[in-house]
Structure 1
Amino acid sequence: MHVALALVTCPPDRADALATALVEAGVAACVNIVPQIRSVYRWDGKLCRDDEALLLIKHRADRFDALREAVLARHPYELPEIIAVDLDRGHAPYLDWVLRATS
């Protein structure tokens, strides 16, 4: 089993509730909230700039689908950013804890 890091952006006022729901549902072991980032992107042909929060979600790589579904069920955006990166290195006791916390 492997650990992954998912990156999800959301409105700052929804970040805590979303992070809490993911941990309570057991699909995330830990979620760090970076409270303020600025996203610049094109949507529907328009250049957009939004203040967002960034969620750093540690989870079991083999449970990404469950994590994605949990985010989609609670996220206010039409097309939320949900990106996962497999972690091939890290502090072994911490990675073991992530696996135990999400089994």
Structure 2
Amino acid sequence: MSTPYRMVMTTCDSQDNARHIAAHLVLNKLAACVNILPKIESIYVWQGKVTQDEEVKLLVKTKSALVSKVIAAIQAEHTYDVPEVQVIEVTAGSQQYFNWMEEVLN
């Protein structure tokens, strides 16, 4: 079973950039809600070396039809050269929450 909703994830280097992106998405009706999870630790390879950073995670709740616009907005507003953008298909959930998303995003 599938729904017409998606969760888009990204990470930011600062709380300020995370809040900026979240507000931009919500104000432009690209996301119904964005959760900001502060202080996650990320270990990854960048420019040939292992890097360890403190980052901020964003969980963006949106509709499938808006995903390409969400990705474009994240890339435009992000401070990273190569921002993480991953899209997760929402297969089930609260119909009341989905109804609220529809109201907010229309």
Shorter-chain TM range is over 0.9
**Is 1:67 matched up with 2:93?**
no
SS at match of 2:81: coil
Contact between 1:59 and 1:99, CA under 8 Å: does it hold in 2? Answer: no
Normalising by structure 2, we get a TM-score of 0.91
Q: In structure 2, which of residues 69, 77, 88 is the aligned counterpart of residue 85 of structure 1?
A: 88
Taking the TM superposition and a 5 Å limit, the aligned residue runs for 1:17-96 are 17-96=20-99
1:68 maps to amino acid: I
Normalising by structure 1, we get a TM-score of 0.94
Counterpart Cα distance in 2 of 1:36 and 1:24: 25
Among all aligned residue pairs of Structure 1 and Structure 2, give the percentage whose two residues are the same amino acid. Answer: 33
Identify unmatched segments of 5+ residues in structure 2.
none
Counterpart Cα distance in 1 of 2:46 and 2:13: 16
Identify unmatched segments of 5+ residues in structure 1.
none
The aligned length equals: 103
**Alignment RMSD (CA, Å):** 1.1
CA shift digits 1:59-78 (9 cap, x unpaired): 00121100001111100100
CA shift digits 1:43-87 (9 cap, x unpaired): 111100111100010000121100001111100100000101010
Contact between 1:3 and 1:99, CA under 8 Å: does it hold in 2? Answer: no
SS at match of 1:26: coil
